[in-house]
A and B are shown apart, each in its own frame.
Chain A
Amino acid sequence: MSSRSWSAVQHSATVLLVSFLVLPVAALALTLSWSDLLAGARHPLLLPALRLSLTTSTTSLTLVVVLGSLVAWWVARRRGRLSRFVESVTQLPAVIPPAVAGVGLLLAFGRRGLLGSFLAREGLSLAFSTPAVVLAETFVSAPFFIQAAIAAFRRVDENLLTVARTLGASPFRSFLRVALPLSAPALVGGAAMSWARSLGEFGATLLFAGNLTGRTQTLPLAVYTAMESDLRAAQALALIMVAVAFAMLLVLRRVTREADDA
């Protein structure tokens, strides 16, 4: 292929795929009038859902980042069958359909579930509560961060860690002061992917946490619920959700770039 036709192929592929990816989002915005959008902004389902989505997705993100970093570090520094096995297991939720994850969570943590039946005896009931939303989001979003963190930690030069150790730093301190800063841009990128996945979580939440305004009805569930009565309202809610997600993405991009430049 000549270099000219090679670049023509690239250009057409870009135009084709990018317009396909943009069109549905653009359609959400372009087919909605301002008055519809304003009505959506005043929709009774919006504020409770927005608040719930933001609190649950940041809580699950915190869990994923703190625990996931430790798991990823453990996996990345070892070369054995066990660590490879753990790595595969952490990727499992990414390939399970969310609705299946929801059924699994219910059968594990529900009242009659494997673990849930013990918890129920202690008077602790997780399903159909806000913590259930956090669990569902953590389950589906963890793989994205862990994958990025493992890859980043594997790139950390062993020699730097050795130097840190010979200078007297403890393993914990060398993780904190050497590995984490070196991997920061990749970790932020992984966290952004995880967070976006949490925010968009639908299937597992609907099945495991149910659909109750203010308690378990996150933005995607509010969109789906609104759609049962009024497609325009659902569209307005969806558009607001896209705007929130996009704003967060921009913020994270900027953070990543600054971390990259530093």
Chain B
Amino acid sequence: MSLLCALLAATQLTVFAASSLREAFLELARRFEAEHAGVAVSFNFAGSQELRTQIEHGARADLLASADERHLRALAEAGLAEAPRSFARNEPVIVVPSGNPAVIHTLRELSRAQRIVVGAPEVPIGAYTLRIFEAAAARYGHGFRSAVEARIASRELNVRQVLAKVRLGEADAAIVYRTDALAAQEAVETISIPADLNVVADYPIAALRGAPQPALARAFIELVLSPAGRALLARYGFQ
């Protein structure tokens, strides 16, 4: 009951953030709440596109941290968000279940997997995956692309669902962000994608126009961009 009262009395800062930011932003929020007494940060973690749609349809939020520049730029152009600032970079990697049942060590060996799970092309991780496959096909030949496509069992709508399939052992390989691979700890093994074939995701953040708590939104963004915030993000695998 006292907890409920505290929650009701607290000023709410509502943060919309890409699924891949979950762990890092939860920790940032704890720090933010410690620095701002009486403020409670509440989150909506989802695919960046889903968050954008929610905002376009009137969801009340103070700020958005997206895994894709496109969505926040579109919101800014529509007058729904302030100018986005880039705060982190995240690199796609291959993850396999621990023990690596399909014995994959490089991107080129990806088609050894019986079952590959990737993101749908409509969500950022899926769009990056497509670009990686295109670059890889240019180098390894079109046989690589078709062999990999034939093994794709599902195109998931957010990166954490992609990761979950590998954690459960349902997929032999998947492409997620390095931060997701780190979050899964011992459940997965990580294989880097050659830098010249890889696409690095730029994460922008911006306060939303009409934010119920504009001052707090700016303070949260300052924390994210501060050296302490960047160090914290780096611990979760962001660059």
Contact = CB atoms under 8 A, between A and B. Distances in A.
A206 to B, nearest CB: 8
Contact of A228 (B49, B115, B154): B49
Interface string B90-120: 0000000000000000000000000101001
Interface string B114-152: 010100101100000000000000000000000000001
B72 interface: no
Interface in B27-76: 47, 49-50, 53, 56
B7 interface: no
A216 B50 CA distance: 21
B155 interface: yes
A211 B157 contact: yes
B9 interface: no
Contacts of A224: 157
Q: Which of B154, B155, B156, B165 has the most CB of A within 10 A?
A: B154
A111 B53 contact: no
Interface residues of A, number: 22
Contact of B169 (A112, A226, A228): A112
29 contacts: A106-B168, A106-B170, A110-B170, A111-B169, A111-B170, A112-B169, A127-B170, A128-B115, A128-B117, A128-B153, A129-B153, A206-B157, A209-B154, A210-B155, A210-B156, A210-B165, A211-B120, A211-B154, A212-B152, A212-B155, A213-B155, A225-B120, A225-B155, A225-B157, A227-B50, A228-B47, A228-B49, A228-B122, A228-B123
Closest 6 CB pairs of A and B: A210-B154, A228-B122, A128-B153, A229-B122, A112-B169, A228-B49
Interface of B: 47, 49-50, 53, 56, 115, 117, 120, 122-123, 152-157, 165, 168-170
Interface of A: 106, 110-112, 125, 127-129, 206, 209-213, 216, 224-229, 231
